[in-house]
């Protein structure tokens, strides 16, 4: 495939701030798989979930093979903002409604475990990754003195109460101020969550991989796309043997006892895919003079909310990393989001200087708020990790313990909460799921639309769908030199028509969120194949 090389390193044309200190050229190179192999465990996808699970299983003595379609950390882990939070985005009052008080307790316990686990591993392996425990602040979005401000405060107080009931250390402080927030509006007051943390995500994951590389029971293959994973064999009582096979695009097979899909979105047609909604989220990194803004994690009550943290820049400045402005994939305009984040930041932090990095990525929201981590629906030996819900880093780390326990047959209190086979909370969430699926399926109407009337209409570096016959829509990309690539605009997952994302120069599917580089390279599932050349 004549793909843009950037899309082997990352899932968009923009770069996240993490490349400032950890450029793509510093990342490890592994080789593609070129023969059939056998192992105890095959893990598909080298982001924080795959690497964390590999770490836990290798530590427990299992033979592990990690397989990646592109380069390591090319997925959303390389494009995150790196908050490690147990104060979950979906709020404990909502989680308790869907999963009961015990479910909310297990959610808090498991995410807190993950925060501490990252700190423990970073310290044990000596990884220099900016890991530090910090307070998390939740502040009102509206001006003090307004009716909306009072509503925000009430919501924050409910959040503190529900978080305490779930076992977190949280308190309300009516006079909370954040050092460095010297602009308007005056949003004093808010919640303080203890024991939150942050880190440099790619440096951390690379540190764990550096350790894994030295272990005799670990192998990693990159640029090796898995097309399918299936369970094989029969076992009746204690007779017979069940195992898994993963098949690569180049025709090789990995035979294993257990297979784990950590591809961010599992490679399957429907099942959990229809129990999630997908959003594009945006982030910027602005220079601020060192020491002028408090080192903390900050969130406001807006929907979608803005989120803030600090990372290293150079001797004079740090970066203020600000995220938010989420919208449903392919269903709303992507342009203007970075400007919105910049304006929001400048209004509040008047010391903010240049915007050096602007990037975006995709997040998946399960309808009942909790990620799907465990045995896949209909399988006993195939496991999945998906549904980050804005907390995909801690979900990925806690998946390490949960899945390693399941593989070893050890009891784990978190199993029911995260099980992809759970039913109760899904039945309760049926109306939300239906509403989302109706909207997503309406996107099939794009079969009748053309974004451009002629290839001549396209400016260099742009793409658009040309559909002259309303039956064979083509995805047309014109590169910076004016060279044109023509592909089928039909998503290989379930035949919807992709949309051009002008911010990331990618093709995004509005039905289940699959994504492709400008020349058709698949960068995000559930599709497992590239756009075909026209």
Ligand X SMILES: Cc1cc2nc3c(=O)[nH]c(=O)nc-3n(C[C@H](O)[C@H](O)[C@H](O)COP(=O)(O)OP(=O)(O)OC[C@H]3O[C@@H](n4cnc5c(N)ncnc54)[C@H](O)[C@@H]3O)c2cc1C
Tell me how far, at minimum, the Cβ of 509 lies from ligand X, in Å.
14
Pick 311 or 514: Cβ nearer ligand FES: 514
Identity of the residue, 149 or 319, whose beta carbon is nearer to ligand X in the bound complex: 319
- What's the CA gap between 166 and 99, in Å, rounded? 12
266 binds ligand FES (CB under 6 A): no
- Piece in contact with ligand FES (CB under 6 A), picked from 83-91, 122-130, 446-454, 508-516: 508-516
Cα-to-chain-centroid distance, residue 436: 19
List all residues 6 or more positions away from 309 whose beta carbon is below 8 Å from its beta carbon.
81, 82, 83, 198, 296, 297, 298, 320, 321
Q: What minimum distance in Å lies between the beta carbon of 85 and ligand X?
A: 6
* Binding test (CB under 6 A) with ligand FES, winner from 267, 491, 522, 531: 491
77 binds, among ligand X, ligand FES, none (CB under 5 to 8 A by kind): ligand X
How many whole angstroms separate alpha carbon 291 and alpha carbon 273? 44
Distance CA 140, CA 187 (A): 6
Choose among ligand X, ligand FES, none what residue 140 binds, the Cβ cut-off being 5 to 8 Å by kind. Answer: none
Interior CA angle at 210 toward 209 and 212, to 5°? 60
Q: Which of 48, 51, 526, 530 binds ligand FES (CB under 6 A)?
A: 526
Rounded distance between C-alpha atoms, residue 24 and residue 12, angstroms: 13
Binding site for ligand X (CB under 6 A): 44-50, 67-70, 74-77, 79-83, 225-226, 262-264, 267, 281, 283, 323, 361-363, 385, 388, 390-394, 396, 525, 528
Backbone angles phi, psi at 415, to 5 degrees: -55, -50
One-character DSSP codes across 423-475: -HHHHHTHHHHHHHHHHHHHGGGGGG--S-S-GGGPPTTEEEEE-TTSSS-EE
Among the listed ranges 54-62, 192-200, 310-318, 504-512, the one in contact with ligand FES (CB under 6 A) is 504-512
List the one residue out of 438, 413, 140 whose CA is nearest residue 298: 140
Candidate segments 9-17, 28-36, 240-248, 489-497, binder of ligand FES by CB under 6 A: 489-497
Please state, in angstroms and rounded to a whole number, the distance separating the CA atoms of residues 54 and 385. Answer: 13
- Taking CB under 6 A as the rule, does residue 527 contact ligand FES? yes
Residue 496 lies near ligand FES (rule: CB under 6 A) = yes
- Which residue in the set 509, 521, 523, 531 belongs to the binding site for ligand FES (CB under 6 A)? 509
Residue with smaller CB distance to ligand FES, 367 or 509: 509
Identify which of residues 212 and 267 has a Cβ nearer to ligand X in the complex. 267
Residue choice 514, 516, 520, 522 for contact with ligand FES (CB under 6 A): 514
* Residue 341 makes contact with ligand FES by CB under 6 A: no
187 touches, from ligand X, ligand FES, none (C-beta below 5 to 8 Å by class):
none
State which residue has the least CB distance to ligand X: 392
Closest separation between CB of residue 499 and ligand FES, Å?
10
Of 62, 79, 446, 512, the residue at the interface with ligand FES (CB under 6 A) is 512
497 binds ligand FES (CB under 6 A): no
Contacts of 256 (CB under 8 A, 6+ apart): 38, 39, 40, 41, 42, 65, 243, 244, 245, 246
**H or E element in which residue 515 lies:** strand 515-516
In the complex with ligand X, the residue whose CB is nearer, 267 or 498, is 267
**187-195, 234-242, 455-463, 490-498 -> range binding ligand FES (CB under 6 A):** 490-498
Q: What are phi and psi of 189, to 5 degrees?
A: 100, 150
Question: Which of ligand FES, ligand X, none is residue 81 near (CB under 5 to 8 Å by kind)?
Answer: ligand X
Cα separation, 498 vs 486, whole angstroms: 13
Cβ proximity to ligand FES: between 323 and 517 the closer is: 517
Query: Residue 373 contacts by C-beta under 8 Å, 6 or more apart in sequence?
Result: 383, 384, 385, 395, 398, 399, 402, 403, 418, 420
Phi and psi (nearest 5°) for 405? -65, -45
The CB density around residue 154, as the number of other CB atoms within 10 Å, is 11
Max Cα–Cα distance, the chain, nearest Å? 72
Q: In angstroms, give the least distance from the CB of 528 to ligand FES.
A: 10
**Which residue's CB is nearer to ligand X, number 45 or number 518?**
45
**Which of residues 279 and 414 has its CB atom nearest to ligand FES in the complex?**
279
Distances (CA, A) of 372 to 61, 171, 207, 215, 425: 25, 30, 26, 29, 12
- Pick 113 or 447: Cβ nearer ligand FES: 447
> What's the closest the beta carbon of residue 48 comes to ligand X, in angstroms?
5
Question: For ligand X, which is the closer residue by CB, 22 or 68?
Answer: 68
Residue 63 CA from chain centroid, whole number: 27
Q: SS3 for 402-426, per residue?
A: HHHHHHHCCCCCCHHHHCCCCCHHH
DSSP output for 321-372: EEEEEEEETTTS--TTHHHHHHHHHHHH-TT---EEEEEEEEEEEETTSS-E
Phi, psi of 6 (to 5 degrees): -55, -35
Minimum distance from CB of 317 to ligand X (Å)? 21
> 136 is in the binding site of which of ligand FES, ligand X, none (Cβ under 5 to 8 A by kind)?
none
Query: Residue 98 Cβ, how far from ligand X at the closest point, in Å?
Result: 20
Contacts with ligand FES, residue ranges (CB under 6 A): 491, 493-494, 496, 509, 511-514, 526-527
């Amino acid at each position: 495939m004549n793909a843009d090389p950037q899309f082997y390193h990352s899932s968009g044309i923009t770069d996240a701030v993490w490349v400032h200190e950890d450029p793509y050229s510093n990342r490890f190179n592994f080789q593609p798989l070129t023969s059939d192999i056998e192992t105890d465990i095959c893990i598909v996808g080298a982001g924080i979930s795959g690497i964390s699970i590999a770490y836990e299983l290798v530590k427990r003595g299992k033979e592990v093979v990690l397989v990646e379609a592109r380069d390591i950390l090319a997925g959303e882990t390389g494009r995150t903002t790196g908050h490690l939070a147990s104060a979950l985005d979906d709020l404990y009052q909502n989680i308790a409604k869907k999963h009961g008080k015990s479910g909310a307790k297990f959610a808090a316990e498991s995410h807190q475990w993950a925060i501490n686990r990252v700190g423990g591993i970073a310290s044990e392996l000596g990884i220099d990754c900016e890991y530090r425990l910090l307070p998390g602040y939740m502040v009102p979005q509206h001006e003090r003195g307004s009716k909306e401000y009072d509503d925000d405060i009430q919501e924050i107080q409910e959040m503190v109460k529900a978080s305490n009931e779930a076992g977190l250390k949280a308190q309300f402080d009516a006079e909370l101020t954040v050092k460095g927030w010297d602009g308007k509006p005056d949003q004093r007051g808010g919640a303080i969550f203890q024991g939150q943390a942050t880190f440099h995500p790619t440096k951390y994951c690379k540190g764990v991989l550096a350790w894994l590389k030295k272990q005799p029971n670990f192998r990693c293959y990159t640029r090796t796309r898995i097309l399918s994973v299936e369970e094989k064999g029969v076992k009746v009582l204690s007779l017979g043997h069940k195992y898994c096979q993963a098949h690569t695009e180049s025709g090789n097979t990995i035979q294993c006892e257990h297979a784990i899909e950590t591809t961010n979105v599992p490679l399957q047609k429907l099942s959990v895919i229809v129990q999630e909604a997908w959003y594009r989220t945006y982030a910027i990194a602005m220079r601020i003079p060192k020491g002028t803004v408090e080192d903390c994690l900050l969130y406001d009550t807006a929907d979608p909310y803005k989120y803030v943290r600090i990372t290293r820049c150079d001797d004079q400045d740090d970066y203020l990393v600000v995220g938010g402005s989420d919208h449903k994939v392919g269903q709303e305009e992507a342009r203007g989001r970075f400007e919105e984040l910049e304006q929001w930041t400048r209004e509040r932090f008047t010391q903010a200087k240049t915007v050096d990095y602007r990037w975006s990525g995709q997040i998946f929201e399960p309808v009942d708020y909790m990620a799907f981590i465990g045995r896949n629906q209909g399988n006993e030996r195939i496991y999945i990790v998906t549904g980050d819900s804005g907390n995909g880093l801690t979900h990925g780390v806690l998946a390490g313990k949960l899945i390693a326990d399941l593989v070893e047959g050890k009891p784990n209190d978190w199993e029911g909460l995260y099980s992809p086979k759970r039913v109760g909370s899904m039945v309760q969430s049926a109306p939300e799921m239906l509403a989302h699926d109706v909207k997503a399926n309406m996107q099939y109407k794009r079969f009748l639309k053309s974004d451009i009337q002629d290839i001549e209409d396209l400016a260099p570096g742009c793409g658009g769908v040309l559909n002259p016959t309303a039956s064979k829509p083509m995805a047309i990309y014109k590169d910076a030199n004016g060279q044109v690539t023509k592909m089928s605009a039909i998503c290989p997952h379930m035949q919807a028509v992709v949309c051009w994302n002008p911010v990331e120069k990618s093709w995004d599917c509005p039905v289940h969120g699959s994504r492709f580089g400008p020349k058709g390279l698949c960068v995000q599932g559930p599709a497992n194949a590239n756009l075909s050349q026209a």
